Structure 1
Amino acid sequence: MTGSEVSPSFRLAYVPGVTPTKWVRIWNERLPDVPLTLIAVSAAEAFDVLRGGGADAGFVRLPVDRTDLSAIPLYTETTVVVVPKDHVVAAVDAVSAEDLADDIVLHPLDDTLDWESPPGRPANERPATTADAVELVAAGVGLLVVPQSLARLHHRKDLTYRPVTDAPESRVALSWPQDATTDLVEDFIGIVRGRTVNSSRGRTPPPAQQTRKRPDTGGGTRQKPAAGKPTGKSPRIGSGGPKGGSKGGRRGKPRGRS
């Protein structure tokens, strides 16, 4: 921790497709006196917002420049292709990039996927945003490959989507400036990592649980009988045997009687 002053509020940036509702709810339950402000940012501007002090932390898409930003990877998204509902792709469960070779595949300027070579045939112009590309898909101009959360964000009744099995995947992370790791940032990291309120950094951990003693049933502690002492039980075959002898007795020549 490098920060020592507690901010009167916590500002959380998030990129399109990320839904921070669950974490915000937990924050409000644990720190009701510290308001949390959500700041919607594009994937391209998210890092500048963090570096410029416009947010204390943010949900971003990897990669992150670790020179001045810290990051905790959270999850990886499925990549899907958005198509009109009457497109042939809508009839299958999943496709490969090669299956899209004959289609025009739109590649918006704010694309979050790290393509070595985008699939399909390129359009004459690249759409400015993913939202613009979705509109073009609805108009029958081409298809769009995006993280599944963006397909859900821009859902339309006349469109659907299917997984692309061999496409690059987008990873979402929590990021914040390295030189501004405040107590509130640490609190939010604990929430995102699933720590309980008592195990969060800076809070008093729960006392160690003591080993429970067995309840006294009135019989006291059962001890093993000392060697050579009778246990109170009847002797069994093999420890002297019943009258008349037994095969379970001692072997060898019997002793004479006096």
Structure 2
Amino acid sequence: MDQRSKQLRKKIVDVLHHAGRGHVGPSMSLVEILRVLYDSVLKYDSANPRMPERDRFILSKGHGCLALYVLLADKGFITEEELFSFCSFNGLLGGHPTTKTPGVEFATGSLGHGLPFAVGVAAALKMDKSKSRIFTVLGDGECGEGSVWEAAMSAARQKLSNLTAIVDYNKLQSYGPTEEVTGFEPFAGKWESFGFAVREVNGHDVAALEKIFAELPFEQDKPSVVICHTIKGKGLPFAEGDPTWHHKTKMSAEDHVRIIKSIEDYHA
């Protein structure tokens, strides 16, 4: 884990400590995915968030929003002061993304809505003959929603090659392992059967993510899905794979110092 990934994680923890609450595990598994999207893939202008030629991004797993907010601040969509307004009275940033935040295309939080909305956007862009693309990040637990698969069928039927779904496959839901709660395997096979072109990647390997996103679309007449194998709580050794770190409240000053040090010392 390089210094940029560590710095982004430390910022997430700083904001969480300041707010006194937030989703830890779901944010940490997203860091490299969002970092690569905003550093290398998405076309945008933070000074003009509604630029017509922009690529669109939807964080369907809205509870991972701390990672998104940190990237939006990093890229100049919001200020440092606005970043630290997270979950404060009259603050800009809520516990799930809303469209009042610059750079947020769609309010998310109720799981299963991001991909259906993205399909509609992709279809509209295609009809307008736009070169813009749309990306949406789903949680693996979210893929238990029927609306995800209804949207997937529609995307394949319309041959929406401008649409990329990205699954944060950390294999852990808020109350237990995904495979025990729902069971998705063979996961790649399910997406293939619904008509998507599928790739799998280590979701914490920046170089591998850059390479695979550079190959989009994987097929010219199909929507794409990237299944990112990740670790919930990545970067916090004591939180990795631990569902009790899905959400935390009232982080003490001592905990804050301990967590920041654990990120700085992380070598795996």
Q: TM-score, normalised by structure 1?
A: 0.25
Larger Rg: 1
TM-score (norm: length of structure 2): 0.24
